[in-house]
Amino acid sequence: MYLKPIKRTIGICLALLLLLTAAPLGGLAGLDLFFQAEAAYRVGDTIQYGNYPQTKVEETDALRNAASGATWMSYNYYIGTAAEFGNDVWNGQMAPSDYMQFADFFCDDVKYRAVKFSAYRPNYTGLTSCADNSRQDENGYSTDTTYYFKYEPLTWRVLDPKTGYIMCESIIDSQAYQNTIYYSGGKYYQANGSSVYASDYAASSIREWLNKDFYETAFTTPQKANIETTTLDNSAKSSSGFSSESTSDKIFLLSWSDAANRPYGFNPSSIFDSAKRAKGTDYAKCQGLYVETEQDFSGFSWWWLRSPGINSKSASCVGAKGHTGDTSVNDTRGGIRPACILTNLESDVLLSDDLYSEPHVHTPGQAVVENEVAATCSTTGSCDEVVYCSDCGEELSREHKELPIAGHTDEDNDGLCDFCEKQMTGGNHCKYCGQIHTGFGGFFTKIIHWFKALFGQRAHDEMIG
């Protein structure tokens, strides 16, 4: 019964063996392409792309001296008025502050980020600052201390090699999904007076952070060019009525359906999916990342998904144990695992050339005017004065300027404004000499014009002389 299939298989193997022994090397080109295809990326493979501060390093005199000359920038992290977790956490009174700062610099041709904070980052943006309201101290980071983190290549997991869909293998930062939230009438909004739900991904703080702060920090200009703009479905994870509109982004978070997609390597049948579990970098822990302490899942952290949750104040997430759920959008302990689609997974710009070298020193070029809107006789104009590097073309500065009202002009000397055709004040312009003749006003001007038409320019000049 099974003899014919066996004979057929043996025959195919013998034919292939004869082909391999008899064919010249050039005739095996197709077979070579087969093996090359087999060597391409598969789901679950990892690549390195871009770089970001990750591993904490001990302070040295060299690091301290290099950081002393760096420019410190505020994270503008939010802080609220509620002393403890409760309804006041969503009172809309949270505001950005300068209590936590960072500085990027080079030391011995290696890039680092220094971090310091004078107050603890609260677990929720609506809370006040104290050690009890923060994960930073539990992660080993204290106020009034400077910490140093080394920039290192980011490792990404391949989710779909055909489309170039990748996701960060580690949790690389800790951020709130939405910084501001206000409770009113049984619903949660992004601010007092706003009609946008707090769980709206399209208008969320995290979407802006991913495509601005992270994108600008992690990638060089050639790397950015290799990242596609992706149209995203931002539906809620259930029919809760809180879906967000679609967006088109370079960097984004996985959706709830992505995290349950078996072709991406996840197990939708497992409550605690090990493929979803992730650990955070030292830098993420310094930002206040939640880190699980339960024995079987110790060291893992939860991370955000982009899909809005079951109500207007929650968004989807993956728990430290690998399960999916949702939590309040202004929780700052949520891990970030950025995702994107690369045009070419095997691009030669995968790693940054500037990771272990001094940064390029820009040469400012001459300022150029862009986006000019001319002023008129009654309205102001505007323009942008932009300075680009004359070597690499990168934009160095952009200053928006307002152009003053031009006022009425009468270049054709017809007594009317060239813009609005309004009668000019202060007299009437003679269309022949351009002067303003006062006295009898418009009537006298008409006589002058008539006299000119009849007797010529010399008689006209004598008349008004």
pLDDT digit string, tens, across residues 232-274:
999 998 776 889 999 999 999 999 999 999 999 999 888 899 9
Structural domain includes residue 118: yes
Domain match, 445 and 328 both: no
Structural domain includes residue 207: yes
Domain match, 393 and 433 both: no
Q: What is the DSSP string of 162-219?
A: TTTEEEESSB-EE--S-S--EEETTEEESSTT--SBTT-GGG-HHHHHIIIIIHHHH-
Structural domain includes residue 187: yes
What is the pLDDT, as a whole number, of residue 101? 97
What is the pLDDT, as a whole number, of residue 160? 97
Give Cα 447 distance to the centre of its chain: 69
- What letters, b where the CB count within 10 A reaches 16 and e where it falls short, cover 273-291? beebbbbbbbbbbbbbbbb
Structural domain includes residue 375: yes
- pLDDT averaged over every residue in the chain: 84
Q: Which residues contact 213 (CB under 8 A, 6 or more apart)?
A: none
What is the pLDDT, as a whole number, of residue 98? 96
Using CA atoms, how far apart are residues 296 and 272, in angstroms rounded to an integer?
A: 11
Domain match, 217 and 253 both: yes
Q: Which residues contact 458 (CB under 8 A, 6 or more apart)?
A: none
Domain match, 170 and 218 both: yes
What is the pLDDT, as a whole number, of residue 445? 59
Domain match, 81 and 215 both: yes
Domain match, 456 and 374 both: no
Using CA atoms, how far apart are residues 28 and 17, in angstroms rounded to an integer?
A: 12
Structural domain includes residue 335: yes
Domain match, 286 and 377 both: no
Domain match, 231 and 93 both: yes
Structural domain includes residue 329: yes
Dihedral through CA 194, CA 195, CA 201, CA 207, nearest 10? -30
Domain match, 139 and 179 both: yes
- SS3 of 63, please? helix
What is the pLDDT, as a whole number, of residue 408? 79
Domain match, 138 and 261 both: yes
Q: What is the pLDDT of residues 382-412, one digit of tens each?
A: 999 999 888 777 788 889 998 898 777 777 7
What is the pLDDT, as a whole number, of residue 442? 55
Domain match, 54 and 191 both: yes
Structural domain includes residue 223: yes
What is the pLDDT, as a whole number, of residue 440? 52
Domain match, 121 and 169 both: yes
The number of domains in the chain is 3
User: What is the gyration radius of the CA atoms in the chain, in angstroms?
Assistant: 33
- Sheet strands (E) in 259-318: 278-279, 300-301, 303-308, 314-318
Structural domain includes residue 434: yes
Using CA atoms, how far apart are residues 409 and 308, in angstroms rounded to an integer?
A: 57
What is the pLDDT, as a whole number, of residue 316? 96
- Stretches where the chain sits below pLDDT 50 are 1-39, 352-358, 427
Name the residue range of residue 68's domain: 46-341
Q: Model pTM greater than 0.75? A: no
